[in-house]
Amino acid sequence: FREKLVDISKPQLMLNNSTPQYKALRWISDTDEVSRAIYLNQNFTDENTLHVRQRYIMAVVWFSTGGENWDEKESYLSDKHVCEWGEVLSGVLFSPNPNRIVCDNEQRIMLLSLSSNNLYGTIPDEVGSLDQMAMFFLGGNSLKARYPNLFNLLEGNLPYLGNFTEVFFFSTWRNNLNGTLHGKGLEKMKIVENIVLGSNNISGTFPEEIVHMTELRLLNLNDNNLIGTLPPDLRELRHLTELKLCCNGLNGTLPSSMSELESLEILDVADNSLSGSIPSSFSNMSVAEVHLKGNNFVGSVDPFCKQDVPPQIFVTDCELNCSCCSNCL
């Protein structure tokens, strides 16, 4: 089997009996009747090769994240087709259920959801070989240390999932994910629409390259350790509806170009170290929810109040002048 998998896992990992890769290889070689039948009959058609490769990848995920202790494990490591491992919800695609695999018409995994499922440890690099993945949900677990990053979004101690070129929703909220955001990877991934990396330990500066993710609709980096300033020119993010950057260490001012984000509905920059005044051009926005508290802004925040429709939720510091705030702290 190794020759069918050498582009997925490093050979030394498959030969080391302490690794998840070794355990997954032994499983498909010795236990998995589906893979064994394909091997014994040397029936490695394109379809069967894909089947074996995906079974191996998901077995590596299982052994890397304590699969025996998952809350929902359904048919994992069973003789069922890998597309049937997990809960099957007919006709429903966009749903981060705790245990879900969805495949396309060619039986390639396109959605993997293991959110809030008692995963611990690390998600292995092998997941990056699921190159048709469109949605990836892993929030609410105990993943930490080495962690695969989406299209090289993260670096440092974090491995690479560089083949996820078609992902449009990536969620790993509330884990122990660390590392820094990698601008070069962001620059290449213009198709991504939603990134949820809130409540982790991501550090470093906010990468300017994020402004080139022109299809981005949701960016949630709340509750991390980001520092530095926001990019001065945000105009290319014309589809962005939610920008959530609360509870980091960002400084500098809110760039005036933010007023050109015509789709923006939620702006949350609370509890950072932002300063300066609110640009008068923000009166041209249509933001329904604004959170500014816990910063060092000065003067009036009334440009938001002068929108055609003032924000329905507007939370800021009490010492700032605000004629339409719903709450001050």
List beta partners, residue 112.
101, 136
Q: In this predicted structure, which of 25-29, 31-35, 212-216, 303-307 has the lowest mean pLDDT? A: 212-216
Considering only residues 205 and 134, tell me which one the structure prediction assigns the higher pLDDT: 205
Length of the chain as a residue count: 329
Q: Can you tell me the mean pLDDT for 191-217? A: 80
Instruction: Please report the pLDDT score of residue 188 as a whole number.
Output: 56
Q: Can you tell me the mean pLDDT for 174-195? A: 61
* pLDDT tens string 54-111: 999 999 989 988 888 888 887 899 999 998 887 654 444 444 455 578 888 888 887 7
* pLDDT tens string 244-277: 999 999 999 999 999 999 999 999 999 999 999 9
Integer Cα distance of 16 and 4 in angstroms:
18
In Å, how far are 131, 265, 317 from 271, measured between CA atoms?
Answer: 38, 19, 10
Burial class (CB in 10 A: 0-12, 13-18, 19+), 166: middle
Instruction: Please report the pLDDT score of residue 196 as a whole number.
Output: 74
C-alpha dihedral, 219 to 104 to 161 to 210, nearest 10°: -30
C-alpha dihedral, 43 to 46 to 47 to 49, nearest 10°: 70
Average pLDDT for the chain: 81
Integer Cα distance of 229 and 206 in angstroms:
7
Instruction: Please report the pLDDT score of residue 131 as a whole number.
Output: 73
Q: What is the largest CA-CA distance in the chain?
A: 76
